[in-house]
A = this chain, B = another copy of it.
């Protein structure tokens, strides 16, 4: 396996911080930037190289030929890209932002597509900040890696630079190093899928918290597993939830409409003379069984080791037909291993 370049992480919250901890745990060179003096002090106290001087961090990244990971909220991404253009003009870039088409658009506007591979680890907790960061957060998680630029080149007249293929490979190597599984997905397909399985659950958690709270202390006292499971992510900082949902508004509105339609249909059944929820309960159970059969890791009956349930394909970035292979993997929700 070719050696992964040093990793420069911009932002040291839950995701950026956890990535840094995992890379360091594997003795991989990593350093980073945070906008917050307190955050830099905390990271330094834990033995990490994180400073508040963005120019210095990026100049160092340029000197080292580092892979830059943008791990800040969406509303600061444009600022980071501009800084990278100025101080680290030849570095490869990836990100961990929870929407992909809007980030792609910002990169495109700046003419930086040739050195950008989008990313999004499907892992996290309701906590945020460096204090919440931890090693092992990404174990067995899907880590979306986008490849829209490669598709555009393969469909258009432009030749895909080998540097881009190398960058794609390096992002996959970083993902593998922290125990996650690289899942190639186009930006648009990603944004709709996460609207379904991540942003909608966040919206639901906020709304359910409010409905529970309207039941006052008695409802608080009686809330148990089903309520806690469905509201846990409402403990996420509201600004982060807004960032996710508002930047992915179009796909989210689409799946919200699907969801509201299902609820209205259930409501009609329950409000009828002979209340029934047969359709929703039966369909929901079948859907749950199908989803569960494939999502995440599972244990083999005889082995204590959890194995991935995602199909795997070995791919050589830049090799013949590799973009077609990525499309195939995407259609299966599978993972890619690079060689």
Contact = CB atoms under 8 A, between A and B. Distances in A.
Interface string A229-273: 111111111110110011101001101111110111011001100
Contacts of A307: none
A212 interface: yes
Interface in A202-219: 202-219
A203 B291 contact: no
A154 interface: no
Number of copies: 2
Given A206-B285, A245-B281, A260-B260, A201 B229 contact: yes
A186 to B, nearest CB: 10
Nearest to A335: B221
A141 interface: yes
A229 B242 CA distance: 20
Given A285-B238, A287-B213, A291-B213, A263 B260 contact: yes
Consensus secondary structure, chain A interface? helix
Contact of A296 (B197, B216, B223, B229): B223
A321 interface: no
A92 to B, nearest CB: 24
A211 B259 contact: yes
Interface of A: 122-125, 141-142, 144, 183, 185, 189-190, 192-194, 196-198, 200-239, 241-242, 245-247, 249, 252-253, 255-260, 262-264, 266-267, 270-271, 275-278, 280-285, 287-292, 294-296, 310, 330-334
23 contacts: A122-B222, A123-B225, A124-B225, A190-B222, A194-B222, A196-B211, A196-B219, A205-B284, A209-B284, A209-B288, A211-B262, A212-B287, A214-B258, A221-B310, A227-B295, A229-B230, A234-B287, A235-B288, A238-B282, A239-B281, A249-B271, A249-B275, A253-B267
Given A206-B285, A231-B291, 8 more contacts: A141-B224, A197-B226, A218-B330, A220-B290, A221-B310, A223-B296, A227-B295, A239-B281
